[in-house]
Amino acid sequence: MSSHWTEELFVKHVDLYQKLLEGMFARAEDEARGVARLLDTAGVAAGSAILDLNCGIGRHAIHLAKLGYHVVGVDISPGLIERARDLAEEHVVTALTEFLVCDVREVAGALSGRRFDGVINMFTSLGYYDEETDISVLRQCRELTRQGGLFVLETGIRDSIGRNFQPHGVIRSGPLLLLHEREFKLETSRMEALWTFLEKNGEDYRLRAEVSVSLRFYVLHELIELLERAGWHYRAGYRDFELREPSLDSNRVIIVAESA
Distance of alpha carbon 111 from alpha carbon 114, whole angstroms: 6
Task: Give yes or no: residues 205 and 251 share one domain.
Answer: no
Task: Give yes or no: residues 24 and 65 share one domain.
Answer: yes
Task: Give yes or no: residues 94 and 203 share one domain.
Answer: no
Determine what percent of the chain is predicted with pLDDT higher than 90: 93
Task: Give yes or no: residues 42 and 120 share one domain.
Answer: yes
pLDDT exceeds cutoff 70 at 245: yes
Comparing CA positions, the residue from 71, 56, 58 lying closest to residue 6 is: 56
Structure confidence at residue 1 (pLDDT): 45
Distance of alpha carbon 244 from alpha carbon 260, whole angstroms: 25
Q: How many domains does the chain divide into?
A: 2
Task: Give yes or no: residues 155 and 168 share one domain.
Answer: no
Range of the domain at 140: 5-159+219-259
* Residues comprising the chain, all counted: 260
Last residue of a domain, one of 215, 235, 250: 215
Distance of alpha carbon 136 from alpha carbon 236, whole angstroms: 22
Looking at residues 42-70, what average pLDDT do you find? 98
Q: Domain containing 185 — which CATH number?
A: 3.10.450.630
Looking at residues 144-169, what average pLDDT do you find? 93
Structure confidence at residue 248 (pLDDT): 84
Give the tens place of pLDDT for each residue, 149-161: 999 999 999 988 8
Q: Domain containing 31 — which CATH number?
A: 3.40.50.150
Residues 94, 86 contacting (CB under 8 angstroms): no
Task: Give yes or no: residues 164 and 254 share one domain.
Answer: no
Task: Give yes or no: residues 179 and 66 share one domain.
Answer: no
Task: Give yes or no: residues 189 and 152 share one domain.
Answer: no
Give the tens place of pLDDT for each residue, 63-103: 999 999 999 999 999 999 999 999 999 999 999 999 999 99
Three-state DSSP at 18 gives helix
Task: Give yes or no: residues 173 and 130 share one domain.
Answer: no
Q: Residues near 163 by Cβ (< 8 Å), separated by ≥ 6?
A: none
pLDDT exceeds cutoff 70 at 46: yes
HSE-up of residue 80 (Cα within 13 Å, Cβ side): 33
Task: Give yes or no: residues 207 and 223 share one domain.
Answer: no
pTM of the entire predicted model: 0.97
Comparing CA positions, the residue from 133, 164, 122, 138 lying closest to residue 253 is: 122
Question: Per-residue confidence at 260, pLDDT binned at 50, 70, 90?
Answer: confident
Question: Per-residue confidence at 2, pLDDT binned at 50, 70, 90?
Answer: low
Looking at residues 200-210, what average pLDDT do you find? 95
Task: Give yes or no: residues 22 and 117 share one domain.
Answer: yes
Task: Give yes or no: residues 65 and 119 share one domain.
Answer: yes
